[in-house]
Amino acid sequence: MYDTVVCTYVCLAQINRDGLSRVNTVDNIAAFAELFGITLPSEDKVANQKYTAGGEEQRVATSTALILSDIDFFLSDVLEMATMATCKPEVRTVELDLPKQANTLFYPTCVRLEQCGGCCYGPLLTCRPKVTKVVRYKVLKTVVNRSSNIDTARSRSDSRRQRRRRRRRRRETVPSYHVVEAIKHVQCECGCKVQEQDCNPTIHNYLQSECACVCKRRDEEAKCEQQSSIKYWEKDSCACYCRKPVECGTGEFFSQDSCK
């Protein structure tokens, strides 16, 4: 049980990766509230709160003339308890990676296949595949020959080479099967949006606990932040730059050290 009573995206930075992993295992409000020690509001307070329906903000009106059973019936008909769309495989439409060939048709061009979907609690995390499997499909391949509907009879004067060429063209128009592969997501996880391969190993260290590329020259970064009024630190290049560079005259150059 965490000491935090109410936690929004503002204080998510205070929760470590282990804490976020626990949050992403629950999918309902009751379990979330239990995890953080939050006392859920009573149902009678919902009647006086605003809710959104059909894109317009409406207010659930209460009246002393309504009996409690009528209020419960009205609210249960309008309000539904939200359920978290947790990170897990779900059936989605996947376009097949088919070759582009002239006068050639493939069918089908897409399938329904398990892919990772849902959301992860925390701005640094994203739903990604953990275990995958290669699925092999066979699709119909048909070559459309424009001359297939034309009478192929030719005069006896045609050469043997021309006749062989026509026979080969007819064989190519025979339908066949083409094998194509697609990736099925077997297991999903909430992982860092920023991965180690996103960092520049020359100037960065990857901290998985922070899901971030951190500059190796931390001392230079600290010096730059001490001059934050005139300089700023660029994390992608791990360099300190002047906030207001000026144009120099002929034969002069601008210094990022003195900002002059």
Least confident piece of the model among 15-24, 51-60, 95-104, 156-165:
51-60
Structure tokens at 120: 């992860």
Give the mean model confidence (pLDDT) for residues 5-28. 65
pLDDT tier for residue 211 given thresholds of 50, 70 and 90: very high
Structure tokens at 139: 């699709």
- Higher-scoring residue by pLDDT: 17, 207: 207
Q: Has residue 143 got a pLDDT over 90?
A: no
pLDDT at 32: 85
Q: Has residue 70 got a pLDDT over 60?
A: no
Helix (H, G, I), strand (E, B) or coil at 91: strand
Q: Has residue 49 got a pLDDT over 80?
A: no
Whole-number Å distance between alpha carbons of 50 and 165: 76
Cis peptide before 245 (omega within 30 of 0): no
Least confident piece of the model among 22-31, 129-138, 140-149, 194-203:
140-149
Helix (H, G, I), strand (E, B) or coil at 197: helix
Give the mean model confidence (pLDDT) for residues 223-227. 91
Q: Which of 47-51, 166-170, 181-185 has the highest mean pLDDT?
A: 181-185
pLDDT at 127: 97
pLDDT at 26: 82
pTM summary value: 0.64
pLDDT at 246: 82
Encode burial over 86-125: b for 16+ CB neighbours within 10 A, e otherwise. Answer: bbebeeeebebebeeeeeeebeeeebebbbbbbebbbebb
Whole-number Å distance between alpha carbons of 246 and 248: 6
**What phi, psi does 215 have (nearest 5°)?**
-65, 140
Q: Has residue 60 got a pLDDT over 50?
A: no
